[in-house]
Structure 1
Amino acid sequence: MQPLILALLASVFQAIQASQTIFSVHDDLLAFPQYEVVFSDSFISEVEASLIIEQASSAVHKSSPARSSNTNSVDLEKRTDSSQDSSSANYVFDPENETYELMYLNGDQHLCTIPVVDTPVKNDTSETRAAEQKELTRATDRGWELLQDLEGKCLYFMSGWWSYAFCYDDSITQFHQLPAQAGKPQLPPQPDPNTSQFVLGKAKRKDKEDGRDNAIEKATRERPRTELQIRGDTRYLVQKMEDGTTCDLTGKPRRVEVQFHCNPHVTDRIGYIKEVTTCSYVMVVYTPRLCSDVAFQPPKEIKANPITCRIIVPEEDIADRTELKLLDSAPEKADKEKPINIGGVILGAGKWINKEGQRMPVPANFGEDRTQQTVTEIIARAQSQADGGKVEAVSDEDLRKLDLDPKMIENLKKEVANMAKEKGWKIEVVDAPGQVREILGIVDGDDGDPEDDEEEEEEEEEEEEEEGSEEVLFKDEL
């Protein structure tokens, strides 16, 4: 729908005949439009629109009486002289930089403001043409000098089954790459000797002959056959390579056109290569080297000139329109979802967690196997007085490895010993997946004493450790 509207506007607005740049058949008007139509959310009254159109029409007649006006007039019978005076301060009238047109869209009348764009003066004198030709020659020579650093280097490009090797100012070869070994990328790619390879083109060299009719290569290399081409606002260097492997279909040698484009954001690399006709190829090479010369730099982005259109509203409907606009904007503010805050982090905010812009540290238990079974480890044990009362306990170093405080365990041993009196006891550490660590004090039971059949359970205060808290429990074993 939008491209159709743009096409209709292009036919309606007869005043649009200027552009910031000279039109080129290579320009993509859909990707780089000269004008952009913007339908504003605001509106304008009939009185103000009529006053703007009439004053714009009179300004055109005063500036050029012989030229017919391209603007349309609005016949609004409801407008009076008093309303004209009261409305004169509600708009900005700038006939030198803007023109005004009326259009109908879906039955509604709109007032469109079109910016006046000065047409660049094209100097087509012989002196100007000579200066342009001189600049093109200079840019071509300078571009060749900037590419000299590629001498002796080769660029590689893989595309499906085929691989390509471009050795600067030498040749371009098409071949099948040897399969790389597992875990060992093969750079540069090596041609498979069991398959055919083709030369797409060779760089031309000028040779001279000695007295014995033997060709001798010049010590000083001649500049290759290069030329500067212009497509729209883009300039690039072209080198044509010929005398490749004879084509089976045409019976002629293969040939390739190499285009060097400036791209300051990449290193020297082949952008793409394609066969435009049978055994005739085009290769595009992106290089930052040409960007040193302003002639090859990419054109600056030119924004489209905005054509702003506002709907025309009768005077008696302005109050209702204003109220309706306020009501339409109210639900947007009320229905706006509140951001979700989890632990001080706003989900979907698109911001770094901390001020330094660093990533969050990986948790210590990240990647642990959650399917593991419960682990129980005895850290202290004592025999009953009847069996000798021998006490065994792990060392302080082992306790620290278990992330336990030796002083805390020593106090627990004394408490459990006081509870057990002459009985045997032990202290166990129980680690269960997804559960809080438990430290159990267990006293040996006596079947002859019914009082020992009672289960006692105590829970001490949680000890704050670096990795979390611990829950300590004491139980009498039945």
Structure 2
Amino acid sequence: MGSLRVLGGVVLLLAALCRSSETVFSVNDDLFAFPQYNIEFTDLYIPEAEAISLLESKATNGPEAPQPLRSDVSSSINPDSHDGLVGEDAGQLGSYERLLLHGYPHLCFIPEAKPAGANGTTPEPSAEDRENELSRAVDRASQLLQGMASNQCLYYSTGWWTYSFCYNSQVTQFHALPPGTNGRVWPPQEDPTTPSYILGKFETPKPSDAKTQPTSDNALSTEVKSKAETNYLVQRLTGGTPCDLTGNDRKIEVQFHCNPQLTDRIGWIKETATCAYMMIIYTPRLCNDVAFQPPKESRAHSITCREIVPENEIGDWQARRDAEKVIQQRIDQGQSQQIVLGGIEVGAMKLVGREGKRLERGRIVLTQDEKAETVIMQKNGQISGMSKAQLKKLDLSQEDIDAFQKELQKLAAGKDWKIERLDDVNGHIQLRGVVSNDDDEEEDENGAHQDAGDKGAPDEGNDATGSQEEYAEGI
């Protein structure tokens, strides 16, 4: 059991060293902005006697310094106390200070931030070590990218040209046929009537010739470069189609960048010089090697603070904290509650108010986009309507009209009525029944004469106004 504890301590030490080395200096950094700190006020407390003891010591010196007795006191009272000061639990070097927040005293732990390599124990790597590390990164990256050889080629289209990247094969520039040609949408098909160009080839020497023949001019050049604190792999491909302007073969530089959020894809490609190109490929494969991972952005040291509470006021402190939580919950619930009128949540913009959502126009009012024709109507006890031939032209059947008329007569209860065929703004055919009012018989009669004179065609004047003001929608 003792050996396991020692081994665990060694593993933690190595992990801490790895984390400390992840931050890399950049020329863009503000030297006076470091070290950075982040103050966190936790929902925990510390007994006053324990806080006084820590303040009198003024500083901690690793595991030999007095540590907070939260496991003896605070944990039994506040079960969430183990989520508090990580720096203290880990035995991190630092000091304690007293701080007032809204009139309440707090004990804050300030971690000691030493610059990396301040003790001088880490030697500067030699040139040979750097070369070995770069060689290892190149070999590791080449192994990680071999998985792209079993996948399909990558494609990138811009303007007239389409580019294909086939790992361990070549990079090609061609004009693609329109999508859907010959029933195929993907991958892009090369237009046989337009010349294509090879921008660079992967040369894989045969095993039998690798030892006897010298390296050719088209051999693959691979190296690791760094930009903005991030390493990426560069492969230079040559042996492309001869250039008409320079007389040399086309060549391309392919850069592989780690991007854990994407699948293999071509970011962009451009011509940096005459018949010389550069292509950027984003791939999550390189992210499996820490050498190509982007540096972590967070460099702040956490200053954690807990409220100092006398032993005889711990119960009151807990009650006050519980009351604050209840009040906050009520505030959050009040903010989340919305006013609902007629089944619609006011201000939620679920139906209208956002892009792509618009309020539909009411169907009782005729608009310029709608066409209504009177199919049959009753005026002063006289019933007049279209013939079966006319109904057939309007895609209506006599049976549907008769059934609709029977229901409308029951609803009208002796009043005048009419049935209209309506083409709504969506192109759908609808039947609408309209029952007249008792107050405006004269205006209603004028509207009926206009309908009869136009043979059921919609009138943009009085009839539209009558449908809006003089009639109520029955069905």
TM-score by length of 2: 0.45
Decide which structure has the larger Cα Rg and report it. Answer: 1
- Higher helix proportion (structure 1 or 2): 2
